[in-house]
Homo-oligomer: A and B are copies of this chain.
């Protein structure tokens, strides 16, 4: 059905090697070059990447495995990653783990079978076992957003703890003392952010009643319920730290449905901004992750590892996580208290 270089050979009378050389950018006589190009055009020839990959055992493919593809955070990273890899001559093969470690493991095995040259993984959880098979297969891996316990795999992420610390500090500086947190004690990023918040509160000797700590998952539902409960307290907080994008979505929805106004009645600060700042009224004060820088760094790191792998014939040792700073972008969702 599809044309092969053999067909080109028939048409042009040249040898397979010459044609192959043409395809791989070698030097040949202009007239031969022209002949081949003409034949390719006529036959609608397209390289069979499978055959090529079989020989070279290189796929020029990079696997990107994400915990959930229907996630704005993920998609945005995907966009930057894809652009970067494309510039470098690689194609990205994107796999969705559907928030399921089993699917994630399947994805990794699938990509190993595809002989990808490297992988970017935003893991479902903190305890996945996939790094080992990848290492054995000689495929370098770079994690994003979430580290994996003692897996010896480099991770590119933001300084969750420090920035959360600063976020709560900002609430404090605006005069808030009754500060609540809607966050996660299950996702690793959530735990890091929580740690930063709590550390600040502890350092300032601010008493945080347990009703002010809404811990669950990074989900819209948790954000919604958490905020509803907070607003219904006898002595509600004056300010709330919201731990991630989904939590913000849910929490803001709860505020919108309540008679209370932000920031008059309740001050808000959130971690992650993706399109939120377009829609929320008033504009929320948010911790913004440098998504492009994260993606570029991760891509470059992986590309470097891929080069090293092919040079040294083995996956290079991990060099430690790469931590980028997040920054706080002020809106007007925090009231100044006396």
Chain B CB count within 10 A is highest, among A83, A91, A279, for A279
Chain B residue contacts of A59, Cβ below 8 A: 50
Question: How distant is the Cα of A269 from the Cα of B183 in the complex, in angstroms?
Answer: 33
A133: Cβ under 8 A from any B Cβ: yes
Chain B residue contacts of A1, Cβ below 8 A: 137-138
Contacting residues of chain A (92-118) with chain B, CB-CB under 8 angstroms: 92-96, 98, 103, 109-110, 112-115
- Contact among B50, B78, B91, B252 with A279 in the assembled complex (CB-CB below 8 Å): B252
Contacting residues of chain A (121-138) with chain B, CB-CB under 8 angstroms: 133, 136-138
Question: How distant is the Cα of A68 from the Cα of B280 in the complex, in angstroms?
Answer: 24
Question: How distant is the Cα of A279 from the Cα of B274 in the complex, in angstroms?
Answer: 12
Whole-angstrom distance from the CB of A129 to the nearest CB of chain B? Answer: 13
A53: Cβ under 8 A from any B Cβ: yes
Chain B residue contacts of A46, Cβ below 8 A: 109, 112-113, 133, 137
Known contacts A50-B59, A69-B78, A279-B280; is-contact A44 B133 (Cβ 8 Å):
yes
Whether A279 and B98, one on each chain, are in contact in the complex, defined by CB atoms closer than 8 angstroms, is no
Residue interface bits A267-304, CB-to-B below 8 A is 1, else 0: 00000000111111111000000000000000000000
Whole-angstrom distance from the CB of A281 to the nearest CB of chain B? Answer: 4
- Contact among B54, B68, B137, B275 with A249 in the assembled complex (CB-CB below 8 Å): B275
A308: Cβ under 8 A from any B Cβ: no
Whole-angstrom distance from the CB of A65 to the nearest CB of chain B? Answer: 11
Whether B115 and A98, one on each chain, are in contact in the complex, defined by CB atoms closer than 8 angstroms, is no
- Contact among B74, B82, B253, B275 with A98 in the assembled complex (CB-CB below 8 Å): B82
Contacting residues of chain A (241-256) with chain B, CB-CB under 8 angstroms: 249-250, 252-253, 256
Whether A136 and B54, one on each chain, are in contact in the complex, defined by CB atoms closer than 8 angstroms, is no
Chain B residue contacts of A110, Cβ below 8 A: 49, 91
Please list the residues of chain A having a beta carbon within 8 angstroms of any beta carbon in chain B: 1-2, 44, 46-51, 53-54, 59, 68-72, 74-76, 78-79, 82-83, 86, 91-96, 98, 103, 109-110, 112-115, 133, 136-138, 220, 249-250, 252-253, 256, 275-283
Given A50-B114, A256-B280, 5 more contacts at CB 8 Å?
A49-B113, A72-B72, A249-B275, A250-B278, A281-B281
19 contacts between A and B (CB under 8 A): A1-B137, A2-B138, A44-B136, A46-B113, A46-B133, A46-B137, A48-B54, A54-B54, A69-B79, A70-B76, A74-B75, A83-B96, A91-B95, A92-B94, A220-B278, A249-B279, A253-B279, A256-B283, A279-B280
